[in-house]
């Protein structure tokens, strides 16, 4: 069983759909498009999806539907081709970290190429460390073959396969395996070609400049993290959508729908509780900050993280610790000690602390 979640640009869940377990991600897109346009009766919508979801085949279908625009990204192979033919020149990033262009391979589209130097450095360091770790392990295998501990071609290949699959850099090595022989060679030219793409990504969209700027297109694509955050809540300690103990289709769908409703409530609670949590309260800054540079939390949010205290010097909560604190509020039904069974009872509710009252008052302000 697969399920797909639709959210708005802020990450608020809108709908959830359930598909059979053998459904590929791209095949689930068009049913969602029909749901948005027909069931929700929305005339104009911009779909934002990753490369796996909005593939070229899906783009060809979307381009034929009025009122539907889209934002996605190019695959690494497509970016490499643009670098090779000179369309993307690294010198363009000397003064800025993004620029727009068009290309005949992508007609009627706008392309926005970005380069994040921090991401480039991170990927470079990761690649180097993985290659070094692989070389270290391959040298061990080479020594085992030289001493005769490994001799059969099949056994050598099995041992080498464990190494290259462990670190996921097999494409950078040329392996020579035979009975009683093993050698390897690092494909430095291929490594250099991949390194040239470090920190590069290209956003593609059907939107015109009048409809959306290149900067906002990047911001919109990055807001896919809101959907990923929702899936983490579904799968993680918040909602625990699995295991599903139902077998009938309608009950499985109902289970997923209830999980979405639960996340809807959770999302709104987290939003109104931002001032009590470690969350960043200055959300408007996201609309104007550099879309390519790494996200930076506000000074107030960083202060909460470092001090673990709010401005009034009370404790900063996570969502779960705040819920735990609120769970101490109880209502007890009491009877007079020694009273008979027919004697009236009375209730006593725990007196809420200042922060508990504040949290409950904030929830009362939710408008949906």
- Give one DSSP letter per residue of 276-341, joined into a string: TBSS-S-GGGGGTS-SSSPP---HHHHHHHHH-B-TTSPBPB-HHHHHHHHTT--EEEE--TT--T
pLDDT at 12: 92
Residue 180 and residue 98 share a domain? no
State the residue range of the domain holding 178: 119-194
The verdict on residue 302 lying in a domain is: yes
The number of angstroms, rounded, from the C-alpha of 226 to the middle of its chain's C-alpha atoms is 7
Strand, helix or coil for residue 82: helix
Residue 189 and residue 207 share a domain? no
pLDDT at 367: 58
Question: HSE (CB half, 13 Å, CA atoms) of 337?
Answer: 0
pLDDT at 368: 56
Q: How many domains does the chain fold into? A: 3
Residue 334 and residue 311 share a domain? yes
The verdict on residue 255 lying in a domain is: no
Task: Tell me the backbone φ, ψ of residue 111, rounded to 5 degrees.
Answer: -115, 135
Last residue of a domain, one of 194, 216, 233: 194
Strand, helix or coil for residue 123: helix
Q: What is the pLDDT along the chain (368 residues), one digit of tens a residue?
A: 888 889 988 889 999 999 988 888 888 898 888 888 888 888 899 999 999 899 999 999 999 888 999 999 999 999 999 999 999 988 888 888 999 999 999 998 999 999 998 999 999 999 999 999 999 999 999 999 999 999 999 999 999 999 998 999 999 999 999 999 999 999 999 999 999 899 999 999 999 999 999 999 999 999 999 888 888 888 877 788 888 888 899 999 999 999 999 999 999 999 999 999 999 999 888 888 899 988 889 999 999 999 999 999 999 999 999 999 999 999 999 988 888 888 888 899 999 999 999 999 999 876 55
Return the closest-CA partner of residue 274 out of 255, 300, 251.
Answer: 300
Residue 38 and residue 110 share a domain? yes
Residue 108 and residue 20 share a domain? yes
Residue 220 and residue 94 share a domain? yes
pLDDT at 217: 96
Question: HSE (CB half, 13 Å, CA atoms) of 83?
Answer: 23
Residue 97 and residue 128 share a domain? no
CA distance 356 to 326: 6
Residue 7 and residue 56 share a domain? yes
The verdict on residue 256 lying in a domain is: no
The verdict on residue 78 lying in a domain is: yes
Residue 186 and residue 212 share a domain? no
- Length in residues, the chain: 368
């Amino acid at each position: 069983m697969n399920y797909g979640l639709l959210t708005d640009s802020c990450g608020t869940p809108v709908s959830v759909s359930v598909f059979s377990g053998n459904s590929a991600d791209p095949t689930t897109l068009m049913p969602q498009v029909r749901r948005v346009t027909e069931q929700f009766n929305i005339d104009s919508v911009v779909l934002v999806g990753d490369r796996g979801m909005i593939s070229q085949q899906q783009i060809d279908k979307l381009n034929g539907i009025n009122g539907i625009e889209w934002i996605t990204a190019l695959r690494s192979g497509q970016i490499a081709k643009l670098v090779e033919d000179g369309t993307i020149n690294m010198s363009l990033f000397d003064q800025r970290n993004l620029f727009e262009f068009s290309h005949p391979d992508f007609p009627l589209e706008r392309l926005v190429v970005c380069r994040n130097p921090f991401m480039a450095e991170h990927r470079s360091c990761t690649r180097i460390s993985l290659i070094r770790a692989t070389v270290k392990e391959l040298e061990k295998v080479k020594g085992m073959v030289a001493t005769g501990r490994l001799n059969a071609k099949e056994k050598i290949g099995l041992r080498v396969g464990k190494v290259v699959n462990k670190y996921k850099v097999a494409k950078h090595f040329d392996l020579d395996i035979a009975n009683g022989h093993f050698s390897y060679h690092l494909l430095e030219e291929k490594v250099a070609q991949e390194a040239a793409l470090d920190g590069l990504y290209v956003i593609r969209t059907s939107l015109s400049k009048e409809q959306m700027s290149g900067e906002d297109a990047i911001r919109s694509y990055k807001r896919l993290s809101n959907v990923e955050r929702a899936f983490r809540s579904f799968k993680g300690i918040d909602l625990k959508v699995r295991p599903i103990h139902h077998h009938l289709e309608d009950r499985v769908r109902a289970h997923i729908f209830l999980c979405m409703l639960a996340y809807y409530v959770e999302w709104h609670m987290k939003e109104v509780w931002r001032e009590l949590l470690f969350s960043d309260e200055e959300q408007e800054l996201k609309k104007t900050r550099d879309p390519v540079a790494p996200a930076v939390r506000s000074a107030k949010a960083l202060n909460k993280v470092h001090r673990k205290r709010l401005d009034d010097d009370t404790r900063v909560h996570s969502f779960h610790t705040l819920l735990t604190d609120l769970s101490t509020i109880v209502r007890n039904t009491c009877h007079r000690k020694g009273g008979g069974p027919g004697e009236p009872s009375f209730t006593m509710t725990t007196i809420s602390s200042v922060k508990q009252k504040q949290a409950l008052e904030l929830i009362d302000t939710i408008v949906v």
